[in-house]
Amino acid sequence: MGGKPVWMIGPACSSMKNDTHNQEERSEKLSSKTDSCCEWLDLHPPTSVLYVSFGSHNTILPSQMMELALSLEASNKAFMWVIRPPFGFSSTEDFRAEWLPDGFEERIREKNQGLLVHKWAPQQEILSHKSIGAFLSHCGWNSVLESLSQGIPIIGWPLSGEQCFNSQMLENEVGVCIEVARGVNSETKHDEVARVIKMVLGKTEKGEEMRRKANQMKEKMEDSLRGGGGFEGSSIKAINDFLGTATSIKKSSILK
């Protein structure tokens, strides 16, 4: 950086602002889709539901979508899947039943096992719901922050860009993620994905460890943004240092 200072100012995640005032303010703006998602989640016990989303710009192959559907059903765990047209189809295209196993939607609806949300979902409200126990994610950084700010462990399926590095770091260094696939060219076996889902959501040693570490990250993120009473979180300190340095440089340039 040529001797220039660098400040770490993250995490920048609006979903971390969970005080009562902000919750009430958001509740006034809930859409009908948000209402329906939360109402469905209300029917399930705490930390029992898997949230599945590949972000607003990513998707997977039709064959992978089929395997993912089979794995979700085989896991016998409740899930909410934000589903978009698969790779090779227009993102604005209407959903086709042929992209999923025969009778899939009817079966999960009858058992109240799953809810398919087409194209977009209120992710922050969903991840902050008490019923969510894990997040099957593409590991985009915004999604990572939104998940860990709620203490939610991640099942990683990175697709592009920095997502592979994020997934690897979260699994190997932080211990809050297990990667089940990588990219749109990876071969996906539904029985293996179902096994990981059951392990992460279940009362297993690995699942408990991931939840514990995810909650530790949540606490660290909250501490970084906490201030007052003589305490200054790392993010607040970094921002103050940055602003102080910027002001000092501006004053120096004016005096010259």
Judge contact between 79 and 72, C-beta under 8 A.
yes
Distances from the Cα of 105 to the Cα of 38, 100, 108, 112, angstroms:
19, 8, 5, 10
pLDDT recorded at residue 226:
83
Token pair of 79 as six digits:
């899930």
Taking a C-beta distance cutoff of 8 angstroms, is the pair 154, 177 a contact? yes
Q: How far is CA 223 from CA 1, 175, 212, 237, in A?
A: 28, 20, 17, 11
* pLDDT for the residue 19: 47
Task: Read off the amino acid at residue 86.
Answer: P
Looking at the DSSP bridge assignments, the partners of residue 134 are 50
What lies within 8 Å, CB to CB, of 44 at 6+ separation is 78, 131
141 phi, psi to nearest 5 deg:
-65, -35
Q: Spell out the per-residue pLDDT of the chain, length 256, in tens.
A: 788 878 877 777 655 555 444 455 445 545 677 889 999 999 999 999 999 999 988 899 999 999 999 999 999 999 999 999 999 898 888 888 899 999 999 999 999 999 999 988 999 999 999 999 999 999 999 999 999 999 999 999 999 999 999 999 999 999 999 999 998 888 888 999 999 999 999 999 999 999 999 999 999 999 888 887 778 888 888 888 889 988 988 887 777 6
H or E, element range at 81: strand 78-83
In the chain, the amino acid numbered 120 is W
221 closest CA partner among 1, 15, 4, 2: 15
pTM for this entry? 0.86
47's tokens: 């930390």
Domains of the chain by range and CATH? 31-221 (3.40.50.2000)
- In this prediction, residue 29 carries a pLDDT of 46
Cα 163 to Cα 172: distance, rounded to the nearest angstrom = 14
Is the bond preceding 11 in cis, omega lying within 30 degrees of 0?
yes
Cβ–Cβ < 8 Å for 214, 153: yes
